[in-house]
Chains A and B, each alone.
Chain A
Amino acid sequence: MSVPDMYSALENAPAARSPHPQPRAIVRIRPPRAWESLDFSALWRFRDLLLALAVRDIKLRYRQTFLGVLWVVLQPLLGAGIFAFVFGRVARLDSGGEPYVLFAYAGLLAWNLFNGVVLKASGALVANAPLVSKVFFPRLLLPFSGVLSTLLDFVIALAVGGILFLASGRTPGFSLLLAPFWLVLLLLLATGIGLLCAALAVSYRDVLHILPVALQFLLYGSPVGYTIAAIPPGLARTLYKLNPLAPSIEGFRVAMLGHGFIGLRSGLYASAAAVFVFIAGVVVFRRMERQFADVI
């Protein structure tokens, strides 16, 4: 089809194709002010891009792999297996009477979500540097698309977990209704940290090197392979509970396994911390956003 043909075909297309469309939006470009409000309408207008980026992420992750999407299932299973062996068999940590594999799987589900979101979001700007320096769109979309693609992995792993739990002869209880609450806290916290790190990494790539180490450290400092009850009461446990991740991970596991308890204070602390970190992340990201294209 020649170029003129294409045009005449398009003239019949719906929507305004008039040669002089009335000016719709006036965009005013000016020097950034110290505090800019978040432009939600821009985020909404670019929702297709958010989705496209997340889809790209997912497609790329398992392209040219032999096992493909099977990895989404295998990773948490293998992880739980290792945890069951190291903590359950070798260290003989208390799992509160649960089969250790189920116990570890529930903890790892929560941890992998947190870990994945932090890593994906924090690397999102640097990994997409050409986009940042050559194309306009709300920069928040990049870390957000990372969150979205990690969520899909989580959902698959969750489904596998569900099968695992049913196969072990459990019936889902009412406690399950609390799981989304803890997940939201985990997501807020992880996204907040991810946004902070993403913005910092534009100027200081060091962040991306420190992060995996810090996360490794945090993994052992969180109740993933053991319960909070395993920490000796007193000062040690008080300090331990400063980790805002601890109640959420334990809470999620309690919700999944159906018994256990998270104190109201811990819950409130985790909620406040998650909301605060998330807002701080967005604010810092927005403050630094204006110089991304120049610095990256």
Chain B
Amino acid sequence: MSSDWVISARSVGKTYRIAATRDRATTLAELLAQKLRKPFARSLGQVAFEALTDITFDVQRGEVLGIIGRNGAGKSTLLKILSQITPPTRGEIDLHGRVGSLLEVGTGFHPELTGRENVYLNGAILGMSRREIDREFDGIVAFAEIEEFLDVPVKRYSSGMYVRLAFAVAAHLRPEILIVDEVLAVGDLAFQRKCLGKMDEVAHRSGATVLFVSHQMAAVRSLCSRALLLERGRIIDDGAVESVLSRYLALNQSARTATTLLPEGDANAPARATAVHLSDASGRPAASFRLGEPWRARVEFELLRPLPHVIAGFGLQNLDGSPLVTWWSAPRDLESGRYAAEFECDIPLAATEASYAIGLTSDEKSVYYAERVGALSISEIAAGTQPHRASGCGAIYTLERPEIQTA
């Protein structure tokens, strides 16, 4: 181990005691009865939940470490322990240097206070002294681009302005160790890029050490040199970012359901979608694909009466709701019955997580539309070939008689 480490975690574990639903006392009377039966039991009806087990790692000064893993893998718990918000149950961590942690953008912002007041309050909350904030104030305001709204209560801000200001304060905190949790999930693309740039500078110019949790693989990949992969509270991979990311993607591939059934919509609607199946080029069900690799979406739908000029649409949206791309099927006049539209998809876009929307139109009018039906991810990892531009096209065929499928 080099002597220049700034974080050294040894066998850290965290156990939560959570109430077991079966034994839990739901009324005061039940609780009393339990206490009387077992007066010395310290925690009645509780089960232990191992949020983190045997976490051991070192971080060198100036390193940018990505922490990835699925929801519930323990990432946030680890960050909370490192930020001293919650103590570990076992193990030890040594930290060299001032820690600044940003687990949420705008914690402590108060809607009634003005932008200026919130900068000072938030700065203090993040651990800056008043003098430090005075010194950084102009930089914060410039970064957030809110000069003319400084003395307006932030409840009147647009959500974009709010987030910009909140991130700006945190970005001007000058910690030696910066801990950041998923803050890029907010804000528009341009701002996300600006934030990433800022974090990159914090890491590479000022020599700070950065721990970064994100579900956005592109961000992890561009910022971090090394990554930790957590799964069920354990570190299952620790190494160069590329290899850890591939491992993570492999983990996701097996875990996500590729088929989504849709709930009933409006009962009188002439048309409704019933299911979506995603599969890779070879037809295996999947929900995460690599950039440049073609994949398929199959939307099953039902018409309750004959409709002319039916077009099925399948579209992807960013997680913030902005549309990315939509594929349309060739129009067909259809009798009532069950159909499926199949789309050959290939997104020439950078790695992204996206939700998908489904629409059906008849005679240029929308007859069915559903958003956020499911989600998928496109990664740019390890795509051997250059992404090529392929235009998707869709075709509709009847489910009862697939043989009359037309292009």
Contacts and interface: CB of A to CB of B under 8 A. Distances in A.
Q: Do A and B form a real pair?
A: yes
Interface in A1-47: 1, 3-4, 6-7, 9-10, 13, 17, 19-21, 23-32, 46
B28 to A, nearest CB: 10
B92 interface: yes
B102 to A, nearest CB: 9
Contacts of B239: none
A1 B142 CA distance: 6
B92 A52 contact: no
A28 B92 contact: yes
Contacts of A131: 107-108, 125
B3 to A, nearest CB: 10
A137 B125 contact: yes
Interface in B166-195: 176, 194
A14 to B, nearest CB: 9
Interface stretch (B113-121, B267-275, B304-312, B374-382): B113-121
21 contacts: A1-B139, A3-B194, A6-B142, A17-B206, A20-B62, A21-B207, A23-B97, A25-B96, A29-B84, A29-B87, A29-B92, A30-B88, A49-B124, A52-B121, A56-B110, A59-B113, A64-B112, A130-B107, A131-B108, A136-B85, A290-B87
Interface of A: 1, 3-4, 6-7, 9-10, 13, 17, 19-21, 23-32, 46, 48-49, 51-53, 55-56, 59-60, 63-64, 128, 130-131, 133-137, 290-291, 293-294
Q: Give the interface centre of A6, A59, A64 by most chain B CB atoms within 10 Å.
A: A6
B290 interface: no
B86 A26 contact: no
A30 B125 contact: no
Given A6-B142, A29-B95, A131-B125, A52 B120 contact: yes
Given A13-B135, A31-B90, A136-B101, A20 B201 contact: no
A218 to B, nearest CB: 25
Nearest to A4: B201
Contacts of A53: 121, 124
Contacts, number: 133
A136 B85 CA distance: 5
Which 10 pairs show the lowest CB-CB distances between chains A and B? A52-B124, A23-B96, A19-B207, A29-B93, A136-B84, A27-B95, A49-B124, A293-B86, A134-B107, A293-B85
Interface in B228-279: none
Interface stretch (B39-47, B75-83, B319-327, B338-346): B75-83
Interface string B102-143: 011001101011000100110011111110000100110011
B43 to A, nearest CB: 12
Interface of A is mostly: mixed
Contacts of B125: 49, 52, 131, 135, 137
B22 interface: no
Interface of B: 6, 16, 61-62, 80-99, 101, 103-104, 107-108, 110, 112-113, 117, 120-121, 124-130, 135, 138-139, 142-143, 176, 194, 197-198, 201, 205-207
Nearest to B207: A19
A32 B85 contact: no
A199 to B, nearest CB: 16
B16 to A, nearest CB: 7
Nearest to A60: B112
Contact of A27 (B86, B94, B127): B94
B130 A134 contact: no
Given A3-B197, A30-B92, A137 B97 contact: no
Given A19-B207, A135-B101, 13 more contacts: A3-B198, A23-B6, A25-B97, A26-B94, A28-B94, A29-B82, A31-B90, A48-B124, A48-B128, A49-B127, A52-B124, A59-B113, A291-B86
A55 B113 CA distance: 11
A28 B93 CA distance: 6
